[in-house]
Chain A
Amino acid sequence: MTVAGLVRDSPAVRAGLSIAVATGAYGVSFGALGTASGLGVLEVCALSLLTFSGGSQFAFIGVLGGGGSAASAAGASTLLGLRNGVYAMQMNALLRPRGWRRLAAAQVTIDESTATALAQEDPRERARGFWTAGVGIFLLWNLMTLVGALAGDALGDPRRWGLDGAAVAAFCGLLWPRLRGREPWSIAAVCAVVTVACIPLVPPGIPILVAAAVAAAIGGWQLRREQARPTEQVPRR
């Protein structure tokens, strides 16, 4: 299939591209804030290329900018990146990348690529969504980091253009198709409440891990309940 054909026929590619534009543009903020916090252009770009996880990167420069040590900056960055390990496990189960693809998939395993893949039902669409969002954001994020690091604040705040609103809408659009039936609705509601309750209490990046643990616990509890009532199951053929 041609690129134009893919964009036309694959909802996952379209979702991946739109989320890539909305998120990638934020690289400007990171570049500008990074140099403002005292890092050189090269160091800021190295963080975007190698760490490639927005939350971790903002935490790193945030700690430095606030007068913290480089060691605690690295600690905060790692803490915020832990959720990527959970994402990677899910992507491993869904996409099963092999060889060099596995190494590449690891680097682009972030909030947006995972969410785009998880929102699809078809296995090929999942892979398309993951790689489109992951690689698309990787390219744009690094380009925009360089632009932001060189131009500083001259470009203005991307929030003025509503890009943070675009991210909220994008995640909402990825969740929506999954909300069929009572069970997903209740899990989503519980996890939303847990996240909001946790945000002021624990460091950024951790609320999502708590929400994931709560969702897993609900899943495990339902599994046990289903297994405890074998008589209610419809016999297979």
Chain B
Amino acid sequence: MTLWLWILGACALAYLTKLSGYLVPQRILESPALVRISACMTVGLLASLVMMNAVGDGQRLAFDSRLLALGAAIVALRMRAPFLVVVVAGALAAALGRLAGLP
């Protein structure tokens, strides 16, 4: 029973965290300084997500087939491939790496 309470508590906290961002008034979000900083944060967040998914494994760095996926994605992007092709290239590279016995 207490487990259920903690589950629901964690869910409530997760939702309130998300909702809090939507309760910030527009006039604060519209200030030119914040718009500029927000644009920089966008690039930073996306770059961080790439690395987190490429080499992160909990609180550990793991260099495995996902790096092949990253390489394949960059090659595909440089060849101006459409988004879906980039994603499939990443999946294929990682799957082939694992098939070849890489971690």
The answer to whether A169 and B90 have CB atoms under 8 Å apart is: yes
- Which of chain B's residues has its CB closest to A205's CB? B52
Partner among B37, B93, B96 whose Cβ is within 8 Å of the Cβ of A223 = B37
Partner among B10, B29, B51, B66 whose Cβ is within 8 Å of the Cβ of A77 = B10
Given contacts A47-B7, A162-B98, A220-B33, contact A96 B46 (CB under 8 A): no
- Which of chain B's residues has its CB closest to A160's CB? B98
B27 → A minimal CB distance (Å): 11
Given contacts A175-B50, A212-B45, A219-B37, contact A165 B22 (CB under 8 A): no
- Taken together as a complex, chains A and B put the C-alpha atoms of A223 and B73 apart, in Å, by 33
Please give, as numbers and ranges, the residues of chain B lying within 8 Å of A4 by CB-CB distance: none
Partner among A81, A106, A195 whose Cβ is within 8 Å of the Cβ of B52 = A195
Is B100's CB within 8 Å of the partner chain A?
A: no
Please give, as numbers and ranges, the residues of chain B lying within 8 Å of A148 by CB-CB distance: none
Interface residues as binary, A169-197 with B (CB distance below 8 Å gives 1, 0 otherwise): 11111111011000010011111101110
The answer to whether B45 and A163 have CB atoms under 8 Å apart is: no
Interface residues as binary, A35-64 with B (CB distance below 8 Å gives 1, 0 otherwise): 000010001001100111100100010100
Please give, as numbers and ranges, the residues of chain B lying within 8 Å of A118 by CB-CB distance: 42, 45-46
What is the interface residue range for chain B against chain A? Answer: 35 or more
Interface residues of A in 194-212 (CB under 8 A from B): 194-196, 199-200, 202-204, 207-208, 211-212
Given contacts A107-B18, A118-B42, A164-B53, contact A192 B47 (CB under 8 A): yes
Please name the 10 residue pairs, one residue from A and one from B, whose CB atoms are nearest each other, closest first: A169-B90, A88-B21, A165-B94, A215-B44, A165-B69, A219-B40, A162-B95, A50-B11, A162-B94, A169-B73
Q: What would 7 A/B residue contacts be, using CB atoms closer than 8 Å? A: A11-B83, A50-B15, A91-B22, A166-B87, A187-B43, A208-B48, A212-B41
* Chain A interface residues (CB < 8 Å from chain B): 11, 14-15, 18-19, 22, 39, 43, 46-47, 50-53, 56, 60, 62, 70-71, 73-74, 77-78, 81-82, 84-93, 96-97, 102-103, 105-107, 109, 111, 114-115, 118-119, 159-176, 178-179, 184, 187-192, 194-196, 199-200, 202-204, 207-208, 211-212, 214-216, 218-220, 222-223
* Chain B interface residues (CB < 8 Å from chain A): 2-11, 13-15, 17-22, 24, 26, 29-30, 33-56, 58-61, 65-66, 68-70, 72-74, 76-77, 82-84, 86-98
